[in-house]
Amino acid sequence: MLPVLTLSLLLLLLFSYLVRIHLQIRKWTEELEETETGSNLRLTLSVRTPGFKRLCRAFNTRLTKEQKAYVKQQAAGKELKYTISCISHDIRTPLTGACGYVELLKRTFGYTTTHALQDSESQRIRHANDPQKAEYYLNIIQNRLKDLETLLDELFLYTKVTQEEYELNLTPIAPYPILCDLLASFYDRIACAGLLLDLQYPQESLLVYGNEEGIRRVFSNLLKNALTYGEQTLSIVQEGASLTFANFVSTGIQIDTERLFERFYKADTARHSTGSGLGLSIVEHLMQKMGGNVSAHLSENILKITVSFCQTPAQMPSEEEATSKR
């Protein structure tokens, strides 16, 4: 009699265990089927055996990875929409301006898009065309198209420098001749902007570890930024392997130095300018590619942007440090 009772008890315990397993699996199945992608669902355990604990951990690890991937995908989607929106706006602005002046140019020479004018009226407009006005319109059209070309060039460069596999050929190089060459090419624009140039470069022969084209683009973008936002004085000061570009910020412009190197960031009153908002972001990425860094500081209406280079390959950040900066 005792063996029968023992066997019955064991069968009852086994049946109870199987029921618990069945209920546990059904609960997990229902939770997984009802859960939306990217939710923070984590499975709970009622059957606490080593096998089920391991299975539960594996499920939760997979759910965590899927949630992180979903969040990353959503963020990338929002970033893409924002990028497309910014690009569309920046491309549309010069194109709209160019199209408007093309229409004015056509009217100047009597070519209208309507058929309301009589032949005599059209003839009168043609005879009244103004070559100087036409030249003025053509210059504006040309400038708008140049703005568009610059925007596309910066978009292409930004896309290239933000790729992890993109590398620059780094060698010891003197930044001073590159800076002087750029200042000569920017001379007319600096003079027209009314900026007084103050160059302090005591170590003209100083070598840094960098790339000529990369350094040229960095300096060029910093000069363009000073022309866009600056007034009074443009100061360039060299101290060791660092160069600081400083200028008074034009009245009324609000600059957030925390966001200054974000792509498409523009100061409030510069939204109507022709800049792409990519210039300083390109500077930051190029400096990182050359093992250096860039920082900005705004004090008493003076914006200072400092680029710091490495002087030897030993000063280059490790791969992990470079990745963490990005």
Write down the mean pLDDT value for the chain.
77
* Residue 184 shares a structural domain with residue 265: yes
Q: Please state the rounded mean pLDDT for residues 198-203.
A: 93
Q: Is a pLDDT exceeding 90 seen at residue 181?
A: yes
* Residue 203 shares a structural domain with residue 120: no
- Here the CATH number for the domain that contains residue 146 is 1.10.287
* Residue 175 shares a structural domain with residue 156: no
* Residue 89 shares a structural domain with residue 123: yes
The answer as to whether 130 is a domain residue is: yes
Identity of the residue numbered 216? R
* Residue 236 shares a structural domain with residue 310: yes
Q: What is the pLDDT of residues 257-301, one digit of tens each?
A: 788 888 777 665 444 455 567 889 899 999 999 999 999 998 888
* Residue 149 shares a structural domain with residue 198: no
Q: What is the CB neighbour count within 10 angstroms for residue 271?
A: 11
Q: Please state the rounded mean pLDDT for residues 111-123.
A: 47
The pLDDT of residue 145 is: 77
Please state the pTM of the whole predicted model: 0.60
* Residue 127 shares a structural domain with residue 192: no
Q: Please state the rounded mean pLDDT for residues 146-173.
A: 80
Domain count, the chain: 2
Helices of type H across 162-240: 175-185, 187-192, 212-229
* Residue 228 shares a structural domain with residue 199: yes
**Which of 161, 193, 220 is a domain's end point?**
161
Q: Is a pLDDT exceeding 90 seen at residue 178?
A: yes
Q: Whole-angstrom Cα distance, residue 72 to residue 66? A: 10
Question: What is the pLDDT confidence band of residue 194, given thresholds at 50, 70 and 90?
Answer: confident
* Residue 97 shares a structural domain with residue 239: no
**Which of 140, 161, 182 is a domain's end point?**
161
* Residue 178 shares a structural domain with residue 312: yes
* Most confident range, picked from 31-45, 61-75, 220-234: 220-234
Q: Helix, strand, or coil here: 287?
A: helix
Q: Is a pLDDT exceeding 70 seen at residue 93?
A: no
Identity of the residue numbered 208? V
Q: Whole-angstrom Cα distance, residue 28 to residue 213? A: 58
Q: Please state the rounded mean pLDDT for residues 82-94.
A: 64
Q: Which of 102, 138, 146, 139 is nearest to 276 (CA)?
A: 146
* Residue 137 shares a structural domain with residue 211: no
Question: What is the pLDDT confidence band of residue 120, given thresholds at 50, 70 and 90?
Answer: very low
**For residue 302, what are the β-bridge partners?**
248, 299
Q: Which of 195, 303, 206, 211 is nearest to 248 (CA)?
A: 303
* Residue 182 shares a structural domain with residue 301: yes
Query: Which structural domain, as residue segments, surrounds residue 148?
Result: 76-161
